[in-house]
């Protein structure tokens, strides 16, 4: 028998699923046969992105404007998505933002902006999904938290060198740990929570990098290059499927070997 991952009959929520790594995840999920609920913040072309994925893969894909930092709206949106698309079976909490400034210039508002999406936003969506599953007795929910390799290494020559990303990197450390705590707490409900820690990836987040810094960064990665969004998305399909039924609290690092040392 060939090893095939089939997500037909499932519905997966992808936050930030309208562009970048999130869009690649939406496409991979749709390609595996599942319906997709995309949550986005404000991008004017999010609806178009959803329509294109639906057309390309012949599944239902809907985009919902929903700031993941707003817990009530997240709860309402997940219920709406379930009514529209069928039983939610998986969540990829992918939406993330950064503020790039020297630490001495970072403000309380910068902190809230980054942590409201990268930590509280992940918690809000995970909690809303878990509540739906626990209340209905659905025992096979799979949650993937998109953290970053920067959860564990200090990115000294960081994305926009010489400026650093203190709040971003620390929020990713927090959210990796949050994922492990949720994995332990929700295991008795059959809910699996795994963490993705991507390395550099060619998206809008990295498009502003100076070429010299990009080359420097690529050279620090054993595989010698940045990843493409699909290389982050494909491991998510395994984690959403029954083929990873004994994995929870795991950290998967598609980082080209950047964190070997």
Helix axes 122-136, 166-186, angle to 10 degrees: 10
Catalytic residue among 147, 148, 150, 171: 148
Residue 172 a catalytic site member: yes
Min dist CB 40 to ligand NDP, Å, is 4
Sheet strand arrangement including 142-146: 61-65, 35-40, 11-15, 88-93, 142-146, 192-196, 251-252
Contact by Cβ (8 Å): 35, 60: yes
User: Judged by CB under 6 A, which stretch of 54-62, 103-111, 200-208, 240-248 contacts ligand NDP?
Assistant: 200-208
Residue 168 a catalytic site member: yes
For the chain, the first-to-last Cα distance in angstroms comes to 38
User: Judged by CB under 6 A, which stretch of 101-109, 195-203, 209-217, 236-244 contacts ligand NDP?
Assistant: 195-203
Give the nearer residue to ligand NDP in terms of CB position, either 11 or 15.
15
Min dist CB 75 to ligand NDP, Å, is 14
Check binding of 94 to ligand NDP (CB under 6 A). Answer: yes
**Residue 25, both tokens:** 């995840």
Task: Outline where DSSP puts E strands in 30-86.
Answer: 35-40, 61-65
Cα–Cα separations (whole angstroms), residue 20 to 31, 191, 233: 17, 27, 10
Site string for ligand NDP, 53-82 (x = CB under 6 A): --------------xxx-------------
Check binding of 22 to ligand NDP (CB under 6 A). Answer: yes
Give the nearer residue to ligand NDP in terms of CB position, either 68 or 85.
68
Residue 148 a catalytic site member: yes
Check binding of 90 to ligand NDP (CB under 6 A). Answer: no
Comparing CA positions, the residue from 208, 229, 251, 238 lying closest to residue 18 is: 229
- Number of residues in contact with ligand NDP under rule CB under 6 A: 31
Chain positions 112 to 131 lying near ligand NDP, rule: CB under 6 A, are: 117, 121
Return d(Cα 143, Cα 85) in angstroms, integer. Answer: 18
Catalytic positions, written as ranges = 148, 168, 172
Please give the residue ranges that form the binding site for ligand NDP (CB under 6 A).
15-16, 18-22, 39-43, 46, 67-69, 94-97, 117, 121, 146, 148, 198, 200-201, 203-206
């Amino acid at each position: 028998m060939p090893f095939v991952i089939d997500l037909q009959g499932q519905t997966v929520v992808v936050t930030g699923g309208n562009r970048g790594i999130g869009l690649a995840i939406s496409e991979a999920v749709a390609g595996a046969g599942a319906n997709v609920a995309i949550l986005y913040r404000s991008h004017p072309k999010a609806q178009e992105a959803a329509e294109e994925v639906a057309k390309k893969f012949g599944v239902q894909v809907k985009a919902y404007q929903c700031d993941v930092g707003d817990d009530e709206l997240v709860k309402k949106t997940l219920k709406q998505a379930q009514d529209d698309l069928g039983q939610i079976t998986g969540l990829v909490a992918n939406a993330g933002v950064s503020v790039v400034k020297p630490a001495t210039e970072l403000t309380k508002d910068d902190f809230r902006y980054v942590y409201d999406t990268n930590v509280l936003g992940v918690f809000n969506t995970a909690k809303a999904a878990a509540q739906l599953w626990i209340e209905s007795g659905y025992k096979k929910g799979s949650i993937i938290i998109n953290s970053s390799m920067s959860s564990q290494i200090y990115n000294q020559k960081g994305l926009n060198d010489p400026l650093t990303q203190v709040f971003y990197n620390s929020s990713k450390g927090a959210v990796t740990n949050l994922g492990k705590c949720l994995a332990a707490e929700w295991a008795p409900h059959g809910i699996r929570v795994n963490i993705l820690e991507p390395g550099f990836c060619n998206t809008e987040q990295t498009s502003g990098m100076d070429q010299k810094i990009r080359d420097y960064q690529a050279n620090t990665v054993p595989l010698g290059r940045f990843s493409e969004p699909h290389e982050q998305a494909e491991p998510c399909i395994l984690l959403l499927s029954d083929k990873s039924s004994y994995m929870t609290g795991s950290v998967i690092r598609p980082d080209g070997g950047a964190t070997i040392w």
